[in-house]
């Protein structure tokens, strides 16, 4: 079974600075997808970014980018120019590839605090 580990229960960053959230995973599969979801106090789960394992290029979405190291099974999220609205719980998630409707396996989450 796949596992996802987020070793930082909580991170704090000053507004406008850059922060990196860590995620590692364990799998024997070669085809899979990795995601970062954001859960603000409203508890809505919001997709931040997606990475396909077969793509070497790191995904980027505006101020959000990932550092995907397949051999090291590492998938970190970098948030640039942090804003107050970025304050939330961030979950790293894994999904098997192969075309099935497999469920996501989540890490325990990192609580991100933005200091004004």
Binder among 41, 43, 56, 85 for another protein (CB under 8 A): 43
Q: Which is nearer to another protein, 15 or 26 (CB)?
A: 26
DSSP 51: E
Q: Does 101 bind another protein (CB under 8 A)?
A: yes
Least distance in Å: CB of 103 to another protein?
3
Q: How many helices (H) and strands (E) does the chain have?
A: 0, 12
CA distance 28 to 20: 26
Is 72 strand, coil or helix? coil
Structure tokens at 84: 């107050």
CA distance 112 to 114: 7
Q: Does 2 bind another protein (CB under 8 A)?
A: no
DSSP 67: E
Binder among 25, 36, 68, 91 for another protein (CB under 8 A): 91
Q: What is the dihedral of CA 3, 36, 99, 105, to 10 degrees?
A: 30
Which one of the spans 12-20, 21-29, 43-51, 79-87 is the region binding another protein (CB under 8 A)? 43-51
Q: Does 22 bind another protein (CB under 8 A)?
A: no
Q: Does 95 bind another protein (CB under 8 A)?
A: yes
Residues forming contacts to another protein in the complex (CB under 8 A) are 33, 35, 37, 42-47, 50, 52, 91, 95, 99-109
């Amino acid at each position: 079974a796949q596992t996802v580990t987020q070793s930082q229960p909580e991170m704090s960053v000053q507004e406008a600075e850059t922060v990196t959230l860590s995620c590692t995973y364990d799998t024997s599969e070669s085809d899979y997808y990795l995601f970062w979801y954001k859960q603000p106090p409203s508890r809505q789960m919001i997709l931040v970014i997606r990475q396909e394992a077969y793509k070497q290029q790191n995904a980027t979405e505006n101020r959000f980018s990932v550092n995907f190291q397949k051999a090291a099974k590492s998938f970190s999220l970098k948030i640039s120019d942090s804003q107050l609205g970025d304050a939330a719980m961030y979950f790293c998630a894994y999904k098997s590839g192969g075309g099935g409707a497999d469920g996501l396996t989540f890490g325990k989450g990192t609580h991100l605090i933005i200091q004004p």
